Chains A and B, each alone.
Chain A
Amino acid sequence: AQRVTQPEKLLSVFKGAPVELKCNYSYSGSPELFWYVQYSRQRLQLLLRHISRESIKGFTADLNKGETSFHLKKPFAQEEDSAMYYCALKDTDKLIFGTGTRLQVFP
């Protein structure tokens, strides 16, 4: 079955530290993956998609088909990065979301 796993419910780091939010997927075929983010008191919004190969707010994510992973990385965390992060997989014509990881960045 198609599945997205985010193994960490909470990730706490200090400002300036590197961040890696883990995402593993199970999919038979060529996957299309996304990261969505929800800041406190704001709506869920798209952060980036692997097809675009873009860097948004300093975050990047590389699709590793061998390890079936799509980890989200940032070299130097900022306090404003504190939020809930969801990894999502396109399955046929819908999105399957992981359970999310809360990132806390301490000053």
Chain B
Amino acid sequence: KAGVTQTPRYLIKTRGQQVTLSCSPISGHRSVSWYQQTPGQGLQFLFEYFSETQRNKGNFPGRFSGRQFSNSRSEMNVSTLELGDSALYLCASSLIPGPSYEQYFGPGTRLTVT
């Protein structure tokens, strides 16, 4: 079974731009969660999507948004990029929504904002 894939793997953007990251879950998984990982804050939950609906959202500004398509693929968008948005963005998929069930992580997208 193919694992979670994320594209692109690396991205360099300028302050003020916007960016879209993509995540394809494991086949059959309908839940996708997104996390931001930084050296200072560690891993922080962004949001979770299940069946094209956002189930839960972390404490991030409205510049961070996401969506999920009918094939369970998910995208997250960050508008008006700030230097502090530089991070590794991880997505994770699971068969059943919610953190009680094993989440399978992707390799991440490394975003650098200059």
- In the assembled complex, which residues on chain A have CB atoms less than 8 Å from the CB atom of B45? 94-96
Scan residues 54-107 of chain A and give those whose CB is less than 8 A from a CB of chain B: 86, 88, 90, 92-100
Do A43 and B99 touch (CB < 8 A)? no
Nearest-Cβ distance from residue A48 to partner chain B, whole angstroms: 10
Number of A-B contacts (CB under 8 A): 47
Please classify how large the interface on chain B is, using the bins under 10, 10 to 19, 20 to 34, 35 or more: 20 to 34
A26 interface residue, CB < 8 Å from B?
A: no
A34 CA to B100 CA, complexed, in Å: 9
A51 to B104, CA, bound (A): 18
Which residues of B line the A interface, CB within 8 A? 3-4, 33, 35, 42-45, 48, 55-56, 58, 90, 92, 97-100, 102-107
A to B CB contacts below 8 Å, 15 in the list:
A43-B104, A46-B102, A49-B100, A88-B99, A92-B56, A93-B97, A94-B33, A94-B45, A94-B56, A95-B45, A97-B35, A97-B42, A97-B44, A99-B42, A100-B42
